[in-house]
Structures are given as C-alpha cells and as structure tokens.
Amino acid sequence: MRTPIIALAAIALCLGAATVSSADHHEGSPQEGQAEAGMPAMGPPPEMKALEAMNGEYAIKFFYKMDPMSEEWMETDATAVMTTVAGGGAQQMVFEGQMMGMPFSGIGLTSYDRVTQKYQTTWVDSMGARISIYTGDLVDGKLVVTGTDPGPAGGTYHSRLTNYNMTDAGFDWTYEMSEDGTNYVVGAKATYTKK
C-alpha cells in the first residue's frame, strides 16, 4: 500500500476524545437524559460529560509519513482548542497547523449516539475538503473509531484512529490505515499536551 500524505489529510488529526466512562446505572431509575415512560431521551448523554475535562488549549507534536510503508517520519507542530458545544451534546476541536509546509486547519466533532451506543467523530479540513465519519467504542481505556476514506487513485481504504494515554494533561493519538480492514499500518501519530 503506497498512499501519499494527501490521503492522510482526510483523517482526523484530532478526535477530541478523552477518558470516557459510563455513568452508574441504578436498577429501576433512569439515568440522566434517559427516557421516562417511552419518551425519547433528552439532553446530553452521560458519556459526553466525561469529555468536559478535555476542554482547553493544546500544543501538538504531530508525526506523519509521506508513504505509510516508509520508516521516515516527518514532524510538525500544531495547536488545538477543544470545547463543549450543542449544549453538551458534542465536543468540538479546532485544529491549526501546517502540512507539507502549507497552512492546515480542521474541525472535528465527537458525540455519543444513544441509539447505536457508539461514539461518532466527524472531521473536515482545508486540504481534504470533505467530511469523514468514524464510529467506535471505548475499550480498555482507549477510544477507538473506524471508518473508510477515499484513496488518492480511487477506491477506499479503512481508517482506524485511537486516543490513548488519556489524562487531564493530554493524550496520545494514532492513525492507522488498511486496504483489507485487517492488516493496519501506522501513517500518523501525535501527542496532545494541554497548555
């Protein structure tokens, strides 16, 4: 697989995710925001409240490969601001940096879908100019979301984005890509440190 970094620009350089824990459930009483007697759930899902600790400004060390099969890493600095939006229903990240010596900016949203019980992340940036959508779960302290992205020469490839080492001070992030959805290679990685 030889996918240039332009294809990586479509991925979430961010995914403003954090330590996420399920709210305690008490038998017989609805969780906050849960439906009463057949009514649809209202308000922000409890799973989103755990993201609030991640709000703030970040300095980012971002590493990427021009060719995912290469051993050579390129490095750049970036910044991000993460805030709660939509009345607590989502977390937004605004990302600013450079990619291949050019200005690069992007916006991501992370939310929790009560119906599918999955986290959702969207991403759009100044290079790819398309909205990517990823879904996933919090597993063993890691938020892992997957989706598909268009390849530079047509077709699609599988993307897997992981936030890990998540604390109030920051988190680490990796982007992996695969042609078959089974064998992944790391194409980008980053360390987010809260200012």
Give all domains of the chain, ordered by start, each with its CATH number: 5-20+41-194 (2.40.128.20)
In this predicted model, what pLDDT tens digit does every residue of 61-74 receive, in sequence order? Answer: 999 988 878 889 99
In the predicted model, is pLDDT for residue 20 greater than 60?
A: no
Answer yes or no: are the C-beta atoms of 77 and 50 closer than 8 Å: no
Look at the alpha carbons of 45, 9, 151, 139 in this order and tell me if their dihedral is positive or negative.
negative
Q: Where are the beta strands (DSSP E) in 32-141?
A: 56-64, 74-85, 90-99, 102-113, 118-125, 132-139
Residue 103: pLDDT band with limits 50, 70, 90: very high
Q: What is the mean pLDDT of residues 76-94?
A: 95
Cα torsion for 48, 51, 56, 59, to the nearest 10°? -130
Which amino acid is it at 88? G
In the predicted model, is pLDDT for residue 134 greater than 80?
A: yes
* Distance of alpha carbon 62 from alpha carbon 75, whole angstroms: 6
Phi, psi (degrees; rounded to nearest 5) at 7: -65, -35
* Distance of alpha carbon 5 from alpha carbon 152, whole angstroms: 10
Q: What is the mean pLDDT of residues 142-148?
A: 92
Instruction: Centre a 10 Å sphere on the Cβ of residue 48 and count the other Cβ atoms it contains.
Output: 21
Of 114, 189, 174, the residue nearest 143 (C-alpha)? 174
CA 99 to chain centre: 18
In the predicted model, is pLDDT for residue 19 greater than 60?
A: no
pTM, two decimal places:
0.79
The Cα-based distances of 46 to 22, 30, 51, 143 in angstroms read 7, 12, 10, 16
